[in-house]
Amino acid sequence: MLVTLKEVLGDAQKQGYAVGLFNTVNLEMAKAVISAAEESRSPVIVGSAEILLGHCDIPQLADILLPMIQKSPVPIVLHYDHGLTYDRVIQALRCGFSSVMYDCSGCSLEENLKNCREMASIAHAFGASIEAELGHVGSGAAGSKESAGGEDHSVYTQPDQAKEFVEYTKVDALAVAIGTAHGPYLKTPKLDLQRLEEIRRTIDTPLVLHGGSGLSDQDFRNCIERGIAKINIFTDIDQAGCRGARRAMEAGAACLTDLIPEITAEIQATVRHKMELFGSVGKA
């Protein structure tokens, strides 16, 4: 069943678990994620990010995902992740996405506030939820001050700004920068858990952890205990699909249809493990 981000994160926050967002770019990934959710009776968030649209565009994603979601017995959010441009976010809303992220974290604080307030009003008019990002989650491979473990914390979320931000913009979820990064990590991330605790004490809005792939199981537990209600995963399932394909080829697969079962199975197993770790199993 199709639900909004606000609906699933409200329960997660109350009960102290997290819901996973698993970005997908094709039918095999989508089937694996939704099958894992149904088998584990877990709420789940599926969709894709603007940076991944070269693999599957917004209308194609909606055509693939919406029928699967509507037929499913578990609550599923169709989420447009890291929307960087106004027009693409609006397109996602018009195509039936029940949640969008408008990522203006690369802008000034003033522009981020203004843009997200405007988009929150539009998303809510569509009956959808909206996520924003305050601070900036960089790239694990960037090798810059934005990468995980960097010494410059100027890109991290400031707790006092978080309160101002959610009160002004009216967003439904806030992605925070506490030391995670997108993509593969070149070195072990150092998460600022004290900062996360301060943000949680400051605001009641559900908090989101980006750059989840590559964190340890204990990292996830620590973050969920301190208020994270949504965790984004892509690299882990992307790499899982590659492992499945490699295993099939080593077993003698000679065509694409021989690869698909192993690809799907490996992604599904990876998603199921994350759901167990996040505590969302049985919460649907």
| 58 among annotated binding-site residues | no
Is there a binding annotation on residue 136? no
Asked whether residue 222 is marked as a ligand-binding residue, the answer is no
The closest alpha carbon to 44, from 74, 13, 10, 71, belongs to 74
Per the annotation, does 216 bind a ligand?
Answer: no
Q: How many CB atoms lie within 10 A of CB 155?
A: 18
Phi-psi category of 214—alpha, beta or left, where left has phi over 0 and alpha has psi -120 to 50? left
Query: Which run of H or of E encompasses 211?
Result: none
82 is in an annotated binding site: yes
Question: How many Cα atoms occupy the beta-carbon half-sphere of 261 within 13 Å?
Answer: 7
Q: How far is CA 208 from the centre of its chain?
A: 8
Buried b (16+ CB within 10 A) or exposed e, 190-225: ebbeebbebbbebbebbbbbbbbbbbeeebbeebbe
CA distance linking residue 155 with residue 137, whole number of Å: 8
Q: Which of 28, 55, 27 has the alpha carbon at shortest distance from 245?
A: 28
Residue 81 known to be catalytic: yes
135 assigned binding-site residue: no
Relative to beta strand 129-134, strand 99-102 is parallel
Ligand-binding site membership of 213 (annotated): yes
| Structure tokens, 224 | 């969920």
Catalytic choice (11, 57, 63, 81): 81
User: Residue 233 annotated as binding?
Assistant: yes
The answer to the question of whether 16 is labelled as a binding residue is: no
267 marked as part of a ligand binding site: no
Q: Binding residue per annotation — 210? A: yes
183 is in an annotated binding site: yes
Find out whether 97 is annotated in a ligand binding site: no
Q: What is the dihedral angle through the alpha carbons of 216, 11, 91, 111, rounded to the nearest 10 degrees?
A: -70
Residues of each annotated binding site: 82, 103, 133, 182-183, 210-213, 232-235
Which residues are known binding-site members for Zn(2+)? 82, 103, 133, 182, 210
Give the residue ranges of the annotated binding site for dihydroxyacetone phosphate: 183, 211-213, 232-235
Catalytic residue annotation? 81
